Amino acid sequence: MLVYLVRRLGQSLLAIVAMAVLVFAGVYAIGNPVDVLINPEATQAEIAATMQRLGLDRPLYEQFGIFVMNALQGDLGTSFVYGRPALAIIMERLPATMELALVALFLSVAIGIPLGVWAGLRPDSIAGRTIMGGSILGFSLPNFWQGMLLILVFAVLLGWLPAGGRGETTEFLGLQVSFLTWDGLTHLILPAINLALFKMSLIIRLARANTREVSLQDYVKFARAKGLSGRRVVMVHILKNIMIPVVTIIGLELGSMVAFAIVTETVFAWPGMGKLLIDSINLLDRPVIVAYLMLTVLIIVSINLLVDVIYSLLDPRIRLSEMKG
Amino acid sequence: MSQTTANAPVRVDSPARRILRQFMEDPVAVIGLILFVAIAALAIAAPWIAPQNPYDLTQLDIMDSALPPGEVSFGSGQTYWLGTDRQGRDMLSGILYGLRISLLVASVSLGLAITIGTIVGVTAAYFGGRLDSFIMRIVDLQLSFPAILIALILLALLGRGVDKVILALVIVQWAYYARTVRSSAIVERRKDYIDAARCLALSDRRIMFRHLLPNCVPPLIVVATVQIAQAIALEATLSFLGVGVPITEPSLGLLIANGYDYLLSGSYWISLFPGIALVVTIVAINLVGDRLRDVLNPRLQK
């Protein structure tokens, strides 16, 4: 187990280093770092001071060392627009994005698994076919377009829910959250559905395929022959056995949800870090872009690592085959 | 293969003919194919069939600004079946030209990504060893990050432009093809006909591309249909976010973004119709892809 952990940790570190090199290359080698990292409105003295601090007058490999040292200390530059450390600005926006992603994940699981199991038990029924047709639509509709339709129907035509923003927030475990106030909840529903739809389609398809396979197994037939209620067969015998692949996908998709939140946050003007990224790109606030990228890479790599470790605890075959390979 | 079967008492179709016949058995897939061909034809023919050239400012009349669908122009008397945008541009023409750019970006990036991915994938599988594990490490590393994140960061660094969007899509997509080709080539490489070709002292390049590659094509086709739908959606998303194509060459995604500001004030058609065009295109491709996956899957063949 220790061998597997060390090996897997090494891969994660390698991924972070590789991304750091790419970001560094993108900023320092392709573009002119003076334009990228120093505010165009800075005075001559400020430019000189920043160049000194970032070591822009030194050779490239030394500059990379300084970049890494600064990044390790949490210094990813100062925002041109806000005049404050870029990382601090992003950290302020992180709770909003995490709240959105977690609520969306909850929705896609809570709706996706029952629908998928239902469709898997009765693949040829009208309900089963409708669910599958709906999931193809969920795959095909681009995310931002789904969001716009939701706004058009529920905010513009029906006027039931607000079209954007985060609404009233309240303190929960020291963080500002929306889902505990009524106003915040109404603001949260549409963006969360929008972010959830794609993953929901994925989970429906996965749960359906696995249910179809599992319900043909002998132990399911045997459970039925034993006279167990249909409810118990589904809840215990089938559900337990489809959860392993479903849980893996859920874990891996949480990371991509943080990235997909960029689109949802832009459509619904949700004040998370994805919206901050798009605003920063439009304002050419490059230190914030660099900080966003490094932080997101860290989040995604950590989630992937965590999922792999949990999965290897559940299924010894994984770590054994990895150790050999 | 066809010579051996021709002598057999039961007549067997050539693979291409069999695939075509099986594909045609599913009416939904045929509808998808017809739709896609029609959309592609409309996009290619846009300059000749569109009612106006939406980017020729002399043809625009600001008096026709934001007319709802079916209204008649005040000046020229032309009917705007899908309405007009804020600049008085005919939405039908805008959509036809937008489709052109969307499909151009998607198909050029598809072609380049397939070429690069195939060469890398076949090379990795054929030579194996360190080269193979090095290439596959890179592929795995890239695929562990969401495509939209990589594309967005590239465009944030490079700036807007049709060529830059194509570059970003190629960088995002090559890894999918490399992995697909490599996984089927590594199975094929162990078969006897490759050993036979080696015994004939054919060059590595000839074996790789004339013997190995043709047998890796079916899974490649399936991945390509999925990926071209993804490419169209990704380009639209990037353009919607304002980092994709420039405003002088608007794709469907940018048309939707332009209309988005007017959605809340009730001018729904500026955003809605380009969106429908986009969705119909993607759904049509996905229907074809779904069927191709079944038809080309050897495990489902009797």
Domain containing A304 — which CATH number?
Answer: 1.10.3720.10
pLDDT band at B91 (very low <50, low <70, confident <90, very high): confident
Per-residue model confidence (pLDDT) at position B108: 94
Least Cα separation, residue B50 to chain A (angstroms): 25
**Number of structural domains found in chain A:** 1
Per-residue model confidence (pLDDT) at position A320: 62
From residue B141, alpha-carbon distances to A23, A172, A292 in Å are: 15, 36, 19
Partner residue facing A148 (CB), from B233, B243, B275: B275
DSSP string of B178-224, one letter each residue: HHHHHHHHHHHTTSHHHHHHHHTT--HHHIIIIIIGGGGHHHHHHHH
Per-residue model confidence (pLDDT) at position B113: 94
Q: Is A325 on the interface with B (CB under 8 A)?
A: no
Asked if B141 and A163 come within 8 Å (Cβ–Cβ), the reply is no
pLDDT(B105) > 70: yes
What average pLDDT does this structure show over B220-236?
87
Partner residue facing B283 (CB), from A140, A293, A296: A140
Reported in sequence order, the residue ranges of chain A that DSSP labels E, i.e. its strands, are 170-172, 175-177
The fraction of chain A above a pLDDT of 90, given in percent, is 0
Per-residue model confidence (pLDDT) at position B9: 53
Per-residue pLDDT of B261-277, as tens digits, reads: 777 776 777 788 888 88
pLDDT(B226) > 90: no
pLDDT(B137) > 60: yes
The verdict on residue A58 lying in a domain is no
Measured between its terminal Cα atoms, the distance across chain B in Å is: 17
Per-residue pLDDT of A203-213, as tens digits, reads: 888 888 888 77
Kindly tell me the burial class for residue B165, based on how many C-beta atoms sit within 10 Å of its own C-beta (0-12, 13-18, 19 or more): buried
Per-residue model confidence (pLDDT) at position B92: 83
Least Cα separation, residue A18 to chain B (angstroms): 9
Per-residue pLDDT of A205-260, as tens digits, reads: 888 888 877 777 778 778 778 877 777 777 777 777 777 777 777 777 777 888 88
Per-residue model confidence (pLDDT) at position B5: 46
The answer to whether the CB of B68 falls within 8 A of the CB of B77 is no
What average pLDDT does this structure show over A316-325?
58
The verdict on residue A73 lying in a domain is no
pLDDT band at B75 (very low <50, low <70, confident <90, very high): low
What average pLDDT does this structure show over A161-165?
74
The verdict on residue A312 lying in a domain is yes
The fraction of chain A above a pLDDT of 70, given in percent, is 85
Partner residue facing B263 (CB), from A18, A151, A289: A151
Asked if A300 and B243 come within 8 Å (Cβ–Cβ), the reply is no
pLDDT band at A168 (very low <50, low <70, confident <90, very high): low
Is the model more confident about A87 or about B108?
B108
pLDDT(A268) > 80: yes
Asked if B242 and A15 come within 8 Å (Cβ–Cβ), the reply is no
pLDDT band at B6 (very low <50, low <70, confident <90, very high): very low
pLDDT(B259) > 60: yes
Q: Is A30 on the interface with B (CB under 8 A)?
A: yes
Per-residue model confidence (pLDDT) at position A325: 43
Partner residue facing A266 (CB), from B229, B241, B256: B241
pTM of the model: 0.81
The H or E element spanning position A158 is none
In the stretch 162-181 of chain A, residues with CB closer than 8 A to chain B read: 163
Question: Mean pLDDT in chain A?
Answer: 78
Strand partners, A85: A78
What average pLDDT does this structure show over A125-154?
82
Asked if A155 and B264 come within 8 Å (Cβ–Cβ), the reply is yes
The verdict on residue A48 lying in a domain is no
Among the listed ranges A74-88, A89-103, B169-183, B288-302, which one has the minimum average pLDDT value?
B288-302
Among the listed ranges A20-34, A141-155, A183-197, B32-46, which one has the minimum average pLDDT value?
A20-34
pLDDT band at B111 (very low <50, low <70, confident <90, very high): very high
Q: Is A12 on the interface with B (CB under 8 A)?
A: no
- The segment with the largest mean pLDDT, out of A18-27, A59-68, A69-78, B235-244, is B235-244
Query: What backbone phi and psi angles, to 5 degrees, belong to A178?
Result: -95, -30
Q: Which residue's structure tokens are 């001559």?
A: A44
Q: Which residue's structure tokens are 């790419």?
A: A22
**Secondary structure (3-state) at A271:** coil
pLDDT band at B302 (very low <50, low <70, confident <90, very high): very low
pLDDT(B109) > 90: yes
Is the model more confident about B130 or about A137?
B130
Question: Mean pLDDT in chain B?
Answer: 81
What's the rounded Cα separation, in Å, for the pair B193 and A270? Answer: 58
pLDDT band at A35 (very low <50, low <70, confident <90, very high): low
pLDDT band at A5 (very low <50, low <70, confident <90, very high): confident
The verdict on residue A205 lying in a domain is yes
Is the model more confident about A30 or about B280?
B280
Per-residue model confidence (pLDDT) at position A283: 77
Strand partners, B246: none
Contacting residues of B for A163, CB less than 8 Å apart = 264
The verdict on residue A215 lying in a domain is yes
Per-residue pLDDT of A46-84, as tens digits, reads: 777 777 766 666 777 777 777 777 777 777 777 777 778
Task: Find the domain containing A242 and state its range.
Answer: 86-324
User: How big is chain B by its Cα radius of gyration, in Å?
Assistant: 23
Least Cα separation, residue B201 to chain A (angstroms): 33
Asked if B278 and A163 come within 8 Å (Cβ–Cβ), the reply is no
Per-residue pLDDT of B16-57, as tens digits, reads: 787 788 777 778 888 888 999 998 888 888 788 777 777 776
The fraction of chain B above a pLDDT of 70, given in percent, is 85
What's the rounded Cα separation, in Å, for the pair A189 and A195? Answer: 10
Among the listed ranges A192-201, B60-69, B199-208, which one has the minimum average pLDDT value?
B60-69
For residue A157, give both structure tokens. Answer: 């035509």
pLDDT(B196) > 90: no
Per-residue model confidence (pLDDT) at position B61: 67
